[in-house]
């Protein structure tokens, strides 16, 4: 393609100069300090147009969010036409565009993608965008619009939405008028779909006590308010805390799902009383964790692993009750997908008690989602509360085709059909997951304590170590080991061997400029010893920067 074809790209890109910085498409897209992102997002606009053209004009989604990260960060991720995360081959293209150092290099990178993907530039292209509540969002949407227009794409701005809502509308737009129509491509359509499904199950059941929701001072607050209003308070009582999206600096600050999971305590400023039911969303409402205080006031966490086991156990019991099978009588394949962060007790419970196969993938819902698609019912959750349950077309067909011989069989089939509408099929969704948990607890009239009693978590600890260059840490074996830096894995193994039920791994974060250290052991003390020893090894020997945290242990030479 001649440079003339890209005259507008070159002209517009001059308004979005690239800082001297290397950009990586990480666990959840590009993510960093918001003031570094202008050029990246302009170029993501170019890429989104090419992705849409490569899908013969289907609409592609772009979400501007840094999710659980601090308010001054922002980020961007691309969404495929059916709502999945961007295909991995295109992540490389995204990086090629973001890192092109000159206008000529940018045009060359565009031409490379066009040739490799055999793209017809005359093809129509459509892009939808939404953003979370970060103050940097509107300017970054403007950068994206410039990029999309520079390649003559059409863009629709959905304003402030949760990340899962953007995934939902993208799928709705692309399936509208087809047998796979997913719903109305609007926020109102999203609330109605979830509310209708929830009410089918909840109506006529004894309501549970109010659910207190920490909305991380993010977009989940207004979204939940809309959803709860659509459902009606006689069927779902919610009390929303941390719903201040107007005051700067509050988003995710000492609150939200990530804070609660990592610090293993309630958000600051809330009064957690025994008998109350609580959950926390993250900044873009794609993660959720639950918690309560036991009779002695002790904080108890129900994380993504607990949500996965609750969902898998419930759906398995419905399938058994409904006697749902494939048309040829073969059983539906139920499976659970976890990452290295899954608590060892949860994996044992799923395998030994629920008798459900478990598969492991590297961190990042994009990996878990694809693995879950191999099952008829694929339950996937990261321990951090990010996940969903996928129903294959064959499973949905089985629920629809099975008549049900008894009242209880028919009720179980109806519940399964309804769950496949209630549970977001595109991506992990805190609001949809919240309703899924409520439905299970309603069905069994379980308290959070009773849910928690299924298995006892091994003590675990997750820490961050700031290093000079996290790219030097190369994870393998679904993040459970490091291939590089040479020798570090042996040092970790040596420490792990000293602890009962010890397990520990180190991996570079794909969303923050740090490496993460995860440890598990028989007791809290042993877990802390293992975690802080490995943190010390990484900090002292592998480029730790800044002040050395006092809790990091030193290993005698
Ligand atoms: C994103 C990903 C998650 C991942 C998390 C942390 O979550 O979608 O799958 O677990 O980042 O990733 P890392 O450990 O690489 O920093 P979110 O909620 O921030 O979009």
Tens of pLDDT, residue by residue over 249-258, are: 999 999 999 9
Give the integer Cα–Cα distance in Å for 481 and 99.
Answer: 29
Model pTM score: 0.96
Lowest mean pLDDT among 92-96, 171-175, 399-403: 399-403
238 lines ligand 1 (CB under 6 A): no
Please give the number of the atom of ligand 1 that sits closest to the Cα of 384. 10
Question: Look-up: residue for tokens 């897209």?
Answer: 29
- Cα dihedral 438, 444, 447, 451, rounded to 10, equals -90
Identify whether the C-beta of residue 380 lies closer than 8 Å to the C-beta of residue 365: yes
472 DSSP 8-state letter = G
Predicted confidence at residue 556, as pLDDT, reads 78
Q: Which two tokens stand for residue 479?
A: 């993040």
User: Where is pLDDT greater, at 269 or 168?
Assistant: 168
Condensed to tens digits (0 to 9), the pLDDT of residues 225-247 reads: 999 999 999 999 999 999 999 99
Q: How confident is the model at residue 5 (pLDDT cuts 50, 70, 90)?
A: confident
Q: Where are the alpha helices (DSSP H) in 3-81?
A: 7-13, 38-54
How far away, in angstroms, is 342 Cα from ligand 1 center? 14
**Residues with catalytic function:** 67
- In this structure, the residue with its CA closest to atom 20 of ligand 1 is 67
User: What is the radius of gyration, based on Cα positions, of the chain?
Assistant: 24
Q: Which two tokens stand for residue 60?
A: 């592609």
Please give the number of the atom of ligand 1 that sits closest to the Cα of 507. 14
Domains of the chain, each with CATH number or no CATH: 3-160 (3.40.120.10), 188-302 (3.40.120.10), 304-433 (no CATH), 460-541 (3.30.310.50)
Please give the number of the atom of ligand 1 that sits closest to the Cα of 68. 19
Q: Which two tokens stand for residue 244?
A: 């201040």
Condensed to tens digits (0 to 9), the pLDDT of residues 293-334 reads: 999 999 999 999 999 999 999 999 999 999 999 989 999 999
How far away, in angstroms, is 369 Cα from ligand 1 center? 13
| HSE (side-chain half, CA atoms, 13 Å) at 426 | 27
Tell which residue, 262, 232, 268, has the closest CA to residue 250. Answer: 268
Predicted confidence at residue 399, as pLDDT, reads 93
Does residue 557 have a pLDDT over 80?
A: no
Q: How confident is the model at residue 1 (pLDDT cuts 50, 70, 90)?
A: low
Whether cis (ω within 30° of 0) applies to the bond prior to 61 is: no
Predicted confidence at residue 3, as pLDDT, reads 55
Give the integer Cα–Cα distance in Å for 51 and 478.
Answer: 28
Q: How confident is the model at residue 204 (pLDDT cuts 50, 70, 90)?
A: confident
Give the integer Cα–Cα distance in Å for 339 and 448.
Answer: 24
Q: What is the mean pLDDT of residues 469-481?
A: 97
Please give the number of the atom of ligand 1 that sits closest to the Cα of 27. 15
430 lines ligand 1 (CB under 6 A): no
Pocket test for ligand 1, best of 511, 516, 517 (most atoms within 8 A of CB): 511
Does residue 405 have a pLDDT over 90?
A: no
31 lines ligand 1 (CB under 6 A): no
How far away, in angstroms, is 65 Cα from ligand 1 center? 12
For the chain, the average pLDDT equals 96
Condensed to tens digits (0 to 9), the pLDDT of residues 79-133 reads: 999 999 999 999 999 999 999 999 999 999 999 999 999 999 999 999 999 999 9
Condensed to tens digits (0 to 9), the pLDDT of residues 346-396 reads: 999 999 999 999 999 999 999 999 999 999 999 999 999 999 999 999 999
Does residue 276 have a pLDDT over 80?
A: yes
- How much of the chain exceeds pLDDT 90, in percent? 95
Environment class of residue 10 by beta-carbon count within 10 Å: exposed (0-12), middle (13-18) or buried (19+)?
Answer: middle
511 lines ligand 1 (CB under 6 A): yes
Q: In what order do the strands lie in the sheet with 30-33?
A: 30-33, 73-79, 59-64, 126-131, 154-160
Lowest mean pLDDT among 2-6, 34-38, 485-489, 537-541: 2-6
363 lines ligand 1 (CB under 6 A): yes
Predicted confidence at residue 331, as pLDDT, reads 94
Does residue 2 have a pLDDT over 80?
A: no
Condensed to tens digits (0 to 9), the pLDDT of residues 484-530 reads: 999 999 999 999 999 999 999 999 999 999 999 999 999 999 999 99
Q: What is the mean pLDDT of residues 186-210?
A: 95
């Amino acid at each position: 393609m001649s440079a003339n074809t890209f005259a507008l790209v070159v002209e517009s890109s001059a308004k979005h100069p690239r800082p001297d910085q290397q950009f990586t498409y990480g666990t959840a897209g590009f993510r960093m300090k918001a003031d570094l992102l202008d050029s990246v997002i302009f170029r993501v606009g170019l890429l989104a147009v090419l992705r849409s053209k490569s899908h013969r004009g289907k609409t592609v989604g772009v979400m501007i969010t840094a999710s659980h990260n601090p308010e001054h960060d922002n980020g961007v991720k691309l969404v495929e036409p059916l709502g999945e995360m961007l295909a991995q081959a295109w992540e490389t293209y995204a990086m090629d565009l973001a890192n092109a150092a000159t206008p000529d290099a940018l045009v060359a990178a565009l031409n490379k993608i066009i040739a490799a993907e055999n793209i017809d530039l005359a093809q129509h292209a459509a892009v939808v965008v939404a953003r979370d509540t970060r103050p940097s969002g509107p300017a970054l949407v403007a950068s994206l619009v410039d990029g999309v227009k520079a390649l003559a794409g059409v863009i629709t701005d959905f304003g402030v939405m949760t990340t899962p809502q953007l995934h939902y509308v993208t799928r709705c737009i692309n399936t509208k008028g087809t047998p796979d129509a997913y719903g109305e491509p609007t926020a109102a359509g999203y609330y109605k779909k979830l509310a209708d499904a929830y009410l089918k199950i909840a109506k006529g059941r004894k309501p549970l006590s109010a659910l207190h929701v920490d909305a991380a001072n993010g977009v989940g607050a207004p979204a939940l308010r809309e959803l709860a209003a659509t459902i009606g308070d006689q069927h779902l009582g919610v009390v929303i805390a941390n719903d201040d999206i107007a005051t700067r600096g509050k988003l995710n600050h000492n609150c939200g799902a990530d804070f609660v999971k990592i610090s293993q305590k309630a958000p600051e400023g809330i009064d957690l009383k025994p008998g109350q039911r609580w959950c926390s969303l993250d900044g873009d409402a794609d993660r959720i964790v639950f918690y309560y205080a036991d009779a002695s006031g002790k904080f108890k966490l129900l994380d993504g692993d607990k949500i996965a086991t609750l969902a898998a156990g419930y759906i398995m019991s419905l399938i058994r009750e409904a006697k749902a099978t494939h048309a040829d009588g073969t059983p539906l394949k139920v499976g659970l997908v976890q990452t290295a962060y899954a608590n060892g007790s949860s994996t044992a419970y799923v395998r030994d008690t629920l008798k459900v196969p478990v598969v492991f993938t590297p961190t990042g819902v994009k990996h878990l989602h694809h693995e879950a698609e191999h099952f008829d019912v694929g339950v996937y959750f990261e321990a951090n509360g990010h996940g969903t349950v996928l129903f294959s077309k064959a499973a949905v067909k089985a629920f629809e085709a099975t008549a049900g011989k008894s009242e209880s069989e028919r009720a179980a089939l109806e519940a399964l059909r309804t769950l496949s509408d209630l549970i977001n099929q595109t991506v992990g969704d805190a609001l949809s997951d919240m309703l899924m948990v409520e439905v299970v607890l309603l069905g069994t009239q379980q308290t959070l304590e009773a849910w928690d009693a299924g298995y006892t978590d091994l003590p675990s600890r997750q820490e961050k170590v700031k290093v000079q260059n996290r790219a030097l840490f190369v994870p393998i074996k679904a993040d459970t080991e490091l291939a590089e830096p040479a020798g570090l894995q042996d040092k970790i193994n040596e420490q792990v061997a000293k602890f009962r039920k010890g397990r520990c791994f180190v991996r570079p974060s794909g969303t923050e400029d740090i490496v993460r250290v995860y440890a598990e052991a028989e007791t809290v003390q042993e877990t802390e010893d293992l975690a802080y020893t490995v943190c010390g090894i990484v900090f002292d020997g592998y480029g730790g920067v800044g002040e050395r945290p006092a809790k990091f242990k030193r290993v005698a030479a």
